[in-house]
Structure 1
Amino acid sequence: MINEILLVLGGLALLVLGGDLLVRGAVNLALKLGMTPLVVGLTVVAFGTSAPELLVSLSAALQGSSGIAMGNVVGSNIANVLVILGVTALISVIVTKGHDLRESWAMMIGASVLLIALSFAGEIGRLQGVILLLALGAVLWRQLSTGRAEPGELEGAALGAGWGKIIFWLVAGLIALPIGANLLVTGATVIAREFGISETVIGLTLVAIGTSLPELAASVAAALRGRADMALGNVVGSNIFNILAILGITTVVAPLTVPPEMLRLDLWVMLGSSLLLAPFLFRSLSLTRIVGAAFVLAYGTYAWILL
């Protein structure tokens, strides 16, 4: 048990370091390429922090553990909104005014509804995986084609670092995050199984939280650097990537069986938690510390129901 605890602590340390490096590199990349930090958060940072979900889901699918593979994605999307944004708001109020994420939010809702529709078949096979990847291509094209910054928009957003530093920060962050998540999930999963927790519940909670920690590290780092737009973009972008990219790639490699209990509760919780963001994005309301506490409490209630 001591070895597993050390793995968890080591994983957490790498996640915090990797999150800070990735955000630093991504903001500077936005300055260099003339892209808004919001779009970089929706693409570069979102894909990088979703890397652990891809590794875990692929590994689980190849081992025949559909519960962990599906639970990892669905649980991560729930945790991204309720835990990641909740904890980030507790640390630093997230101001949404001036950061237009309405279209990206609609894409996230569309991806969630598509996943639910595909899940009713009881299995997400290779054809469904191709459909998810085609939808991902459309999303990426739309994000990148509309993500050019206006003159002066990036002024003061980054430090103007050289390409060498930017590449180092991005590469180091992208390496540290999945390694840290893998260490944490490996240690935590062994500890959880010692207490007899089921595979699907492990995927929905423990593994999902573990693989969502890069999003937490990156979002907190972004908020503390005054980049609330990137913190929000990271979460929304990660949720889109988790469904369209992670499940798309995973199911093309190995079809997944949808656990029946997931259709009864978890997929709907995922959709409902995403819908919670609508009033904040459409009415430019800030995610205050009270809202953050409510989000975390909502996740605690959901986890209590599962356990």
Structure 2
Amino acid sequence: MSHFSPALLVALFVVAAVVVWQAGTYLSDTTDVLAQRLKLGDALGGLLLLAIVTNLPEVVITLSASLRGQVDLAVGNILGGIAVQTLVLVGLDAFGKGHATPLTHRVHTLQPVLEALLVVAVLTVVVLGAQLPASLLGGHVSPAEVVLVLLWLGGVFLVGKAEHGLPWLAHAPAATTNRPEPQDATQQKQKPFANSSTKRVALVFGAASLATLLAGWALEVSGEQLADQLGMTGLFFGATVLAAATSLPEVSTGLAALQLGKPELVVSDIFGGNAFLPVLFLLAALVSGKAVLPRAQASDLYLTGLGILLSSVYAVGLVFRSRRQVGRLGLDSWAVLVLYALGMLGLLFIQQ
């Protein structure tokens, strides 16, 4: 595509983004049904089904960039994507259905808090792993890249275990506040695919996943060429424009999930995806043939710290479940928005 004009590249980028957006709606609708029928629950369903599939564009970008040896683009997309996807919760808080109260107030379970802590844990391992020499495992894989996979699997296990109840809630005076609000029969009947067979739902889920995968590849290729023609560095483009484009599935699925009255599914999709993204460092290392984390730059670690900070803010918001809003946003969303803006400003100075 190097010979494509900027206008044609922009057109391809926009078309791919639209496909990703439309596919995200189907993913949210089918995940809701599959999570119920497989008895996963909203939190675990969001962490396993929705979070991984909506991150297929990041998987494609990581694989493609690593094959060409452009690890900086893959790293910038992974770590920058975490901050951008956390920012998606701000938009959903403001414009999603039910915005009369903050998004974190509408979540009636503590499982998303566990997922936020998992994000903090894996990003902490990223910082630690960046300090280790690449030669520890022969230079092809960093020990931290292996630990990230094991840590993510352990987190999935704990979230699944929490689906059956957290023991201390039974003795808490305010335990009733963590119970989901019942949905009326009208809302239940309006759910897409509610009367479809599990096989048909799975087929639609698979087709939407494939569309997300292919469109993600188109986003990566056209976006990379645009970055080259505009003279943008791999890290800055990956952490901003490309990360925002590949976050479209989370925006689309989040809006659809809020229409279904599933705020837990929304938050679990974001935190589940953010916890999964660092796992891709192992993929990048295996494909490129060299450990990725020991080669992380100051700007990479800066984005990692920003992701930890934003996740921590929402974890606190999920615990306190404040009703207070300023404009259409909860206080935690305002904090995340301001911190992200300051963080991107700081990234510009690091790039200089």
Q: Same fold per TM (> 0.5)?
A: yes
Question: Shift of residue 6 of structure 1?
Answer: 1.4
- 1:193: Cα distance to partner? 2.4
CA distance in 1, matches of 2:269, 2:89: 10
1:108 alignment partner in structure 2: 119
Residue 280 (structure 2) aligns with: 246
1:41 matched to 2:80: no
Deviation at 1:298, TM superposition (A): 4.1
CA contact (8 A) 1:181 1:214 kept: no
Residue 269 (structure 2) aligns with: 234
| 2:316 equivalent to 1:279 | yes
Structure 1, unpaired ranges of 5+: none
Do the aligned residues in 2 keep the contact of 1:48 with 1:174 (CA within 8 Å)?
A: yes
Match of 1:193 in 2: 228
What's 2:168 paired with?
none
Q: For residue 88 of structure 1, what is the aligned residue in structure 2? A: 92
Spell out, residue by residue over 1:66-99, the C-alpha distance to the aligned partner (whole angstroms, 9 max, x if none).
Answer: 21111111101100112x1111112123244413
Conserved 8 A contact 1:76-1:208: yes
Where does structure 2 lack aligned partners over 5 or more consecutive residues? 1-5, 135-139, 166-178
**Rounded Cα–Cα distance in structure 2 between residues aligned with 1:189 and 1:50:** 18
Identity over aligned pairs, percent: 18
- CA distance in 2 between counterparts of 1:146 and 1:268 reads 27
Q: Is the radius of gyration larger for structure 1 or structure 2?
A: 2
Who is 2:160 aligned against?
A: 144
Quote the Cα distance in structure 2 between the aligned partners of 1:27 and 1:199.
36
Seen in structure 2, the aligned counterparts of structure 1 residues 47 and 286 have a Cα distance that, compared at 3 Å, is farther
Once the two structures are superposed, residues 78-124 of structure 1 have per-residue CA deviations (whole angstroms, 9 ceiling, x without a partner) of 00112x11111121232444132222222221111111111122659
Q: Per-residue deviation at 1:206?
A: 2.1
Cα deviation 1:1-40 (Å, max 9, x = unaligned):
2211211221121111111111111100122112212210
Distance in 2 of aligned mates of 1:22 and 1:132? 26
Aligned residues of 1:25 and 1:166 also touching (Cα < 8 A)? yes
**Equivalent residues in 2 for 1:36-75 (5 A)?**
36-75=41-80
Q: Check conservation: 2:313, 2:336, Cα contact below 8 A.
A: no
2 CA distance for matches of 1:166 and 1:267? 36
Distance (whole Å) between structure 2 residues aligned to residue 199 and residue 144 of structure 1? 37
Once the two structures are TM-superposed, the CA of residue 240 in structure 1 deviates from its matched residue by 0.7
The alpha-carbon deviation at position 148 of structure 1 amounts to: 5.3
Q: CA deviation at 1:302?
A: 3.2
Contact 2:129 2:142 survives alignment (8 Å): no
Task: Write the distance in 2 (CA, Å) between the matches of 1:126 and 1:186.
Answer: 28
Q: Determine if the alignment matches structure 1 residue 172 to structure 2 residue 204.
A: no
Q: Aligned partners of 1:263 and 1:183: how far apart in 2? A: 25
SS at structure 2 position matched to 1:276:
helix
Provide the residue aligned with 1:76 in structure 2: 81
Summarize deviations over 1:158-189 as a string: whole Å, max 9, x none. 52431132112211221122222222333233
The amino acid that maps onto 1:52 is: P
- Residue 269 of structure 1: aligned partner: 306
Q: Which amino acid aligns with 1:183?
A: A
Are 1:127 and 2:143 counterparts?
A: yes
Change in 2 beyond 3 A, CA 1:62/1:183: closer
Given candidates 219, 226, 233, the residue that maps to 1:184 is: 219
**TM-score, normalization: structure 2?**
0.78
**TM-score of the two chains, using structure 1 as the length reference:** 0.88
Aligned-partner Cα distance in 2 for 1:138–1:153: 31
Q: Does 1:18 align with 2:52?
A: no
Separation in structure 2 between the aligned mates of residue 63 and residue 258 of structure 1, nearest angstrom: 16
Distance in 2 (CA, whole Å) between partners of 1:287 and 1:269 is 25
* RMSD (CA atoms): 2.8
Contact kept, 8 Å, 1:126 with 1:252, in 2: the verdict is no
Q: Which amino acid aligns with 2:141?
A: G
How many angstroms apart in 2 are the aligned matches of 1:146 and 1:125?
32
Contact 1:96/1:280, CA 8 A, preserved across alignment: no
Where does residue 99 of structure 1 map in the other structure? 109
Q: Which amino acid in structure 2 is aligned with residue 6 of structure 1? A: A
The alignment status of 1:290 with 2:324, answered yes or no, reads no
| 1-structure distance, mates of 2:214, 2:321 | 36
Q: Are 2:298 and 1:258 aligned?
A: no
| Pairing partner for 1:118 from 129, 136, 156 | 129
CA change 1:128–1:2 in 2 (3 A) is same
Deviations 1:187-211 (A, max 9, x none): 2332232221111212221222222
24-33 or 209-218, which deviates more: 209-218
- Would the aligned equivalents of 2:127 and 2:301 in 1 still touch at CA under 8 Å? no
